[in-house]
């Protein structure tokens, strides 16, 4: 029996609580304005998306370009439910339905396509996202091409924080579980992993479905934050935007994705007054970072308290 | 290489710092108007001309001394056709202290910012959001959202007037796409207005959206006596109908009218060549062919201001929206958002480049349309037709 209430977990719990109350206080005292708050929502939702894609790309090493498709499943599920039941219960039901549909779709997609490798998988997932988008475009219940508008806004800091922490908890545990280690071994060397007796297809499917379910959850939060959903919000561009977060932060690094999302969210705020030029500057910043840190901000490392003493110790050894 | 990049980065940072400090200089006597447009992304082709038209209108009004002695200043943000950015822009504009928001260009983005604007009591004025749900808040009108364009089905009224008055038509045949709301609404409103004008719809022929052969219904129509054929659909079906009508005995020269769905570069090809597209008229929001003096002046000024060859419909609609907002601010004698909203709602008919505009009870523009005549597939003439 493991002792879950060890010192590290307690410290984490206290830090998580402190961050929550600090931000809650700042929102209440209007130090964080409505505009900053809506940027915070964006960052939170994209942290969930980035982490979920990191499960597929960073941990398992399978390039998926169709993440926005799974996000749209959650977004439309929540939007449809919220139209008839605009309450928190409605949102939770929407998230539940979205996650279930997303799991089912990702299973159907994953079983044949994850036998493909590298570029082929990327193209297959790209195609799947397009199929989802076109189905939504022609489905009566989702409002066709113009989508669903006037969705009840239920997003709040406590709601966002709960889901972000839940996602970090789930993805962190996934990464450090036996399944996660099997996935990492697939990323490092698929043939070696197979030789060690790992059922590679099975673990790839698990990671893919896990990522798709989290993406659907983020999609549901997206639709209740921004009032409307339309199928063309979830095209290739959105998938690429999520991919940028993962690559920028470092593939396989959860803390890297979180930091990258904060940085990109911040860059968006700084660049907002520049209208069209914004996109050029944004691309320039990405290019510069990628030239200097091709492995991403954190590489495959995690930001952890364990790093600090290690770092000092290494430096001392070098100088002696 | 590394040096070059770090130099570039340093320049970039310095540039942004300089821009920041320049922006923080507060001018006291200005009226700030927010602009929330699709300047990048898939639909920037709508947003960019609207931005230029807003800027042109502002430079003109400032050159003439501003509104009530105050200069107008635009705060322009790009939403990239992304609802998250559109909402964030709106919240930023509210913090910037704008008195009203112009935009967005698309219905989708306008619907994303409408709830935020409503909660904060700020006017949203879209030049080109044509979806009928844009000005609605569920089943009632959203008091804070207006538009300077007419909604799609409204063209039915204008087309009926055009048929009665300009084409002197008494008997009309309508072809309706039974799978399209757009088509059915147009036909319904057209019929109502034509009956009011003393005309008569002899027959309404329905077809399915996927149909490509209209010969049977066209042949049966050719035995009827009528003056005008109204094809209430987009070019995809309308082009085929025009082409097949021209090869049907008795329909070779019949006048064909239609909505702005005809305004499509594929129309001539679908009709089997430009030589088939004669005696065809369609309604649209704006045309530079008109010899109305306001239109001529606007087209000249716009070309001079932007150094561009062509003037898009979006620019004209945006130009009118900007001037209507100026008129509302002027009439309100105040920069209070509530006062501006009330003033815009009760604005008497406004005479703009796209015609005389007023609002109906759902904040949709009631205004004339431009009727374009196609001769050998080329627009040759534009008439302004009042509703």
* B227-249 pLDDT tens trace: 999 999 998 899 999 999 999 98
- Mean pLDDT for the stretch of residues A234-263: 93
pLDDT at B21: 43
Which residues of chain B lie closer than 8 angstroms to A150, CB-CB? 111, 115, 133, 137-138
Q: Do domains B29-150+295-368 and B153-284 have the same CATH topology?
A: yes
Within chain A, strands assigned E span: none
Domains and CATH numbers, chain A: 33-319 (1.10.3470)
Contact call for residues B355 and B384 (beta carbons, < 8 A): yes
- Under the banding of pLDDT at 50, 70 and 90, the label for residue B2 is low
pTM: predicted TM-score of the whole model, two decimal places: 0.85
Percent pLDDT > 90 in chain A is 66
CB-CB under 8 Å, B82 with A233: yes
CB-CB under 8 Å, A147 with B108: yes
A150 close to B (CB below 8 A): yes
Q: Residue ranges of the alpha helices (H) in chain B?
A: 2-23, 44-63, 83-96, 107-120, 155-161, 181-196, 215-222, 235-246, 267-270, 293-306, 313-332, 337-345
Beta bridge partners of B37: B78
Which of the residues B87, B119, B133 would you substitute to probe the A interface, choosing the one with the greatest number of A C-beta atoms within 10 Å?
A: B87
Contact call for residues B259 and B356 (beta carbons, < 8 A): no
B108 close to A (CB below 8 A): yes
Across the A:B interface, residue pairs with CB atoms under 8 Å apart total 87
Which of the residues A27, A149, A229, A283 would you substitute to probe the B interface, choosing the one with the greatest number of B C-beta atoms within 10 Å?
A: A149
CA distance B76 to B35: 5
Which residues of chain B lie closer than 8 angstroms to A226, CB-CB? 83-84, 86-87, 112
Alpha-carbon torsion A57, A60, A62, A65, what sign? negative
Residue B356, min C-alpha distance to chain A (Å): 29
Q: Is the pLDDT of residue B179 over 70?
A: yes
What pLDDT, in 10s, does the model give residues B47-105?
999 999 999 999 999 999 999 899 999 999 999 999 999 999 999 999 999 999 998 99
Q: Decide which of B7 and B319 is more confident.
A: B319
For chain B, the residue count is 387
A178 close to B (CB below 8 A): no
Domain regions of chain B by residue span: 29-150+295-368, 153-284
CB-CB under 8 Å, A276 with B78: yes
Q: Decide which of A307 and A57 is more confident.
A: A57
Q: Which residue has the tokens 């004669």?
A: B278
CATH number for B29-150+295-368: choose from 3.40.50.2300, 2.60.120.560, 3.40.50.1820, 3.10.20.30.
Answer: 3.40.50.2300
- Mean pLDDT for the stretch of residues A220-229: 95
Q: Is the pLDDT of residue A3 over 80?
A: no
B270 close to A (CB below 8 A): no
Percent pLDDT > 90 in chain B is 70
Residue A118, min C-alpha distance to chain B (Å): 29
- Mean pLDDT for the stretch of residues A143-168: 92
DSSP string, chain A: ---TT-HHHHHHHHHHHHHHHHHHHHHHTTSS-HHHHHHHHHHHHHHHHHHHHHIIIIIT------HHHHHHHHHHHHHHHHHH--SHHHHHHHHHHHHHHHHHHHHHHHHHHTTS-THHHHHHHHHHHHHHHHHHHH-TTTTGGG-B--------HHHHHHHHHHHHHHHHHHHHSHHHHHHHHHHH-HHHHHHTT--HHHHHHHHHHHHHHHHHHHHHHHHHHSS-B-GGGGSHHHHHHHHHHHHHH-TT-HHHHHHHHHHHHHHHHHHGGGTTHHHHHHHHHHHHHHHH-TT-SSTT----TTHHHHHHHHHHHHH-
Ramachandran category for residue B108: left, alpha or beta (phi over 0 → left; psi -120 to 50 → alpha): alpha
Percent pLDDT > 70 in chain A is 93
CA distance B6 to A291: 11
A313 Cβ contact partners less than 8 Å away, ≥ 6 residues apart: none
CB-CB under 8 Å, A222 with B112: no
pLDDT at A137: 87
CB-CB under 8 Å, A39 with B138: no
- Mean pLDDT for the stretch of residues B363-376: 92
Which residues of chain A lie closer than 8 angstroms to B115, CB-CB? 150, 153, 227
Residue A118, Cβ neighbours under 10 Å: how many? 10
CA of B109: which chain A residue's CA is closest?
A228
CA distance A111 to A201: 8
Which of the residues B15, B49, B76, B108 would you substitute to probe the A interface, choosing the one with the greatest number of A C-beta atoms within 10 Å?
A: B108
- Mean pLDDT for the stretch of residues B328-335: 92
Compute φ and ψ for B382, nearest 5 degrees. -130, 130
What pLDDT, in 10s, does the model give residues A118-147?
678 888 899 999 999 999 988 888 888 888
Q: Is the pLDDT of residue A47 over 90?
A: yes
Full 3-state SS string of B256-306: EEECHHHCCCCHHHHCCCHHHCCCEEEEECCCCCCCCHHHHHHHHHHHHHH
| Sheet hosting strand B365-366, strand order edge to edge | B350-352, B355-359, B365-366
CB-CB under 8 Å, B107 with A226: no
What pLDDT, in 10s, does the model give residues A73-102?
999 999 999 999 999 999 999 999 999 999
A88 close to B (CB below 8 A): no
- Under the banding of pLDDT at 50, 70 and 90, the label for residue A303 is confident
End-to-end CA distance of chain B: 65
Which residues of chain A lie closer than 8 angstroms to B84, CB-CB? 42, 222, 225-226
What pLDDT, in 10s, does the model give residues A31-40?
899 999 999 9
- Mean pLDDT for the stretch of residues A276-285: 83
pLDDT at B9: 56
Per DSSP, the three-state class of B366 is strand
DSSP string, A217-268: HHHHHHHHHSS-B-GGGGSHHHHHHHHHHHHHH-TT-HHHHHHHHHHHHHHH
- Under the banding of pLDDT at 50, 70 and 90, the label for residue B336 is very high
Compute φ and ψ for B336, nearest 5 degrees. -75, 125
Element (H, E) at B78: strand B71-78
CA distance A303 to A3: 23
- Under the banding of pLDDT at 50, 70 and 90, the label for residue B292 is confident
Question: What token pair was written down for A33?
Answer: 């304005």
- Under the banding of pLDDT at 50, 70 and 90, the label for residue B4 is low
ipTM of the complex: 0.88
pLDDT, mean over chain A: 89
Compute φ and ψ for B205, nearest 5 degrees. -100, 125
CA distance B114 to B95: 16
What pLDDT, in 10s, does the model give residues B7-42?
555 555 555 544 444 444 444 579 999 999 999 888
What pLDDT, in 10s, does the model give residues B99-151?
999 989 999 999 999 999 999 999 999 999 988 889 998 889 999 999 999 98
Give chain A's radius of gyration (CA, Å): 20
Which CATH fold topology does B153-284 show? Rossmann fold (3.40.50)
């Amino acid at each position: 029996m493991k002792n879950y209430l060890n010192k590290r977990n307690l410290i984490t719990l206290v830090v998580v609580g402190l961050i929550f109350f600090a931000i809650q206080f700042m929102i209440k005292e209007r130090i964080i304005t409505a505009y900053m708050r809506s940027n915070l929502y964006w960052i939170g939702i994209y942290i969930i998306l980035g982490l979920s894609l990191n499960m597929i790309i960073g941990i398992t090493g399978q390039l998926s370009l169709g993440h926005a498709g799974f996000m749209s499943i959650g977004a439309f599920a929540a939007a449809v439910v919220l139209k008839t039941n605009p309450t928190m219960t409605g949102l939770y039901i929407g998230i539940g339905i979205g996650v279930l549909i997303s799991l089912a779709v990702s299973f159907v997609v994953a079983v044949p396509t994850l036998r493909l490798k590298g570029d082929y998988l990327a193209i297959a997932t790209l195609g799947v996202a397009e199929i989802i988008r076109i189905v939504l475009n022609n489905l009566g219940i989702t409002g066709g091409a113009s989508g669903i508008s006037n969705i009840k806004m239920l997003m709040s800091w406590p709601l966002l924080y709960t889901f972000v922490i839940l996602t970090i908890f789930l993805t962190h545990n996934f990464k450090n579980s036996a399944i996660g280690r099997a996935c990492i071994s697939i990323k490092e060397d698929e043939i070696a992993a197979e030789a060690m007796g790992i059922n590679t297809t099975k673990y790839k499917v698990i990671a893919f479905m896990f990522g798709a379910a989290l993406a659907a959850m983020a999609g549901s939060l997206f639709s209740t934050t921004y009032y409307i959903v339309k199928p063309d919000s979830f095209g290739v561009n959105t998938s690429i935007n999520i991919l940028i977060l993962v690559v920028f932060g470092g593939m396989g690094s959860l803390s890297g994705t979180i930091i990258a999302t904060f940085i990109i969210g911040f860059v968006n705020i700084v660049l907002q007054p520049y209208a069209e030029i914004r996109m050029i500057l944004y691309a320039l910043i990405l290019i510069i970072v990628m030239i200097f840190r091709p492995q991403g901000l954190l590489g495959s490392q995690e930001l952890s308290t364990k790093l600090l003493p290690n770092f000092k110790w290494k430096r001392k050894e070098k100088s002696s | 290489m590394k040096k070059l990049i770090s130099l570039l980065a340093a320049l970039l940072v310095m540039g942004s710092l300089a821009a920041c400090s320049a922006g923080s200089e507060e001018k006291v006597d200005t009226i700030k108007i927010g602009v929330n447009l699709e300047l990048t992304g898939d639909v920037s082709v709508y947003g960019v001309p609207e931005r230029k038209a807003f800027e042109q209108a502002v430079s003109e009004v400032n050159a003439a001394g501003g509104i009530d002695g105050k200069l107008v200043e635009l705060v322009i943000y790009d939403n990239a056709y992304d609802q998250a950015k559109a909402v964030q822009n709106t919240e930023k504009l509210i913090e910037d202290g704008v008195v009203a928001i112009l935009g967005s260009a698309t219905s989708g983005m306008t619907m994303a910012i409408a709830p935020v604007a409503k909660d904060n009591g700020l006017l949203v004025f879209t030049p080109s959001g044509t979806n009928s749900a844009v000005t609605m808040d569920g089943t009632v009108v959203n008091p804070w959202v207006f538009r300077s364009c007419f909604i799609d089905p409204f063209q039915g009224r204008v087309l009926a007037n055009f048929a009665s008055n300009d084409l002197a038509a008494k008997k009309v045949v309508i072809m309706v796409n039974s799978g399209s709301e757009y088509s059915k609404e147009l036909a319904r409103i057209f019929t109502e207005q034509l009956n009011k004008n003393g005309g008569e719809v002899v027959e309404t022929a329905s077809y399915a959206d996927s149909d490509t052969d209209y010969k049977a219904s066209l042949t049966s129509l050719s035995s009827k006596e009528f003056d005008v054929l109204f094809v209430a659909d987009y070019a995809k079906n309308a082009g085929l109908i025009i082409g097949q009508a021209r090869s049907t005995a008795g329909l070779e020269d019949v006048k064909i009218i239609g909505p702005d769905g005809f305004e499509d570069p594929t129309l001539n090809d679908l009709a089997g060549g430009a030589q088939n597209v004669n005696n065809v008229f369609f309604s649209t929001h704006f045309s530079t062919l008109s010899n109305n003096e306001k239109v001529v002046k606007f087209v000249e000024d716009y070309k001079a201001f932007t150094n561009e060859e062509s003037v898009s419909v979006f620019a004209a609609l945006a130009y009118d929206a900007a001037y209507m907002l100026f008129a509302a601010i002027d009439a309100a004698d105040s920069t209070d958002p509530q006062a501006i909203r009330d003033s815009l709602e009760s604005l008497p008919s406004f005479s703009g480049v796209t015609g005389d505009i007023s609002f109906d009870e759902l904040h949709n523009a009631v205004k004339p349309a431009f009727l374009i005549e196609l001769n050998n597939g080329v627009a040759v003439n534009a008439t302004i037709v009042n509703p």
